[in-house]
Amino acid sequence: MPNPVDLKGVVSPLITPFLADAQTVNVEAVAALVEHQVQRGVHALFVAGTTGESMSLDDEQWRRLLQMVTTTVAGRIPVIVGVSMPSTAGAVRRARWAAELGADYVTATIPYYFLPSQQDIVRHYRAIEDATPLPLVVYNIPHLTKINIALATHLELARSSQMVALKDSSGDITALRRLKWALAERGREDIRLFMGTDLMIDAIVMMGAHGVVPSLANLAPHVLVGAWDAAVAGDWPTCWRLLERAALLTRIYQVHPSGAEAGTVSGLKAALAQIGIDCGPPALPTMPLDEAEQNAVKTILQDGGLAI
């Protein structure tokens, strides 16, 4: 079993490369993308999350993606796999496959579409725990699931030793700090706390949390890892300089007219193609960037020192 103490630092939420049909997982590109990040120091990979377009993956695509990631990683860093589905049954099904396909941790959002109560949320995660021997990472992303996991619910989930970490994408760093204190009061300061953010590495380190899950790590892992290492070392000028560079590069997220999550994926895929890792288009129905938008991405990469 993996040691949760090793789960820290920059956890990259891997995009899902497709062939030109926007449906078939491009396993060669998966391998190239994984190597791009592992060789540049990311501390773990998060497969089939929001940036990985998990909501668009059927079971065959999901299995193919995870198998290629774990084969390529070959135990060098931890692999967290998302099993999020609209229903508990779907999440349980994927959780049962996760260990046999080589994952080290499973993670899931709450069910979405029919919105659950806080008691339903506890039942959801307990069912996932019952379905797999792997440690669980709870995933809170209320702007997409429409429900925030309450502090009391987090503490109830923490009564299980199988829950070892939380990925919070609410953007509420104050709530994360309050949770950290509450977990410590209940003897669960061992739970690893991560925030889904590209630009808050300095704050995460200062508050004593354990890592970040930045979408930009797909494109510029060395920038995020460098910022993390500098923050841990207390070298704040270097950390801030690298975060300023990261902020410039995140402008690729705003190029796609839809913005938000679709813009993040489209921008990353366009940018990766320009540095030599062709990950194909986003999954349907999101359109890839047109020529003018790709040129805008090229300019951003040049400004950020990533153009080839």
Residue 269 a catalytic site member: no
The answer to whether residue 180 is catalytic is no
- Cα(293)–Cα(75) distance, integer angstroms: 38
> Of the residues 8, 167, 180, 269, which is catalytic?
167
> Quick one: which of 76, 61, 75 has its CA closest to 30?
61
Q: List the one residue out of 103, 57, 68, 107 whose CA is nearest residue 282.
A: 57
59-67, long-range: CB < 8 A, 24+ apart: 59/93, 59/94, 61/16, 61/23, 61/24, 61/25, 62/94, 63/97, 63/101, 64/25, 64/27, 65/16, 65/25, 65/30, 66/97, 66/98, 66/101, 66/102, 66/103, 67/101, 67/102
- The rounded distance, in Å, linking the Cα atoms of 257 and 274 is 20
User: CA 289 to CA 88: how far, in whole Å?
Assistant: 34
Q: Which of 105, 125, 139, 253 is catalytic?
A: 139
Catalytic residues: 139, 167
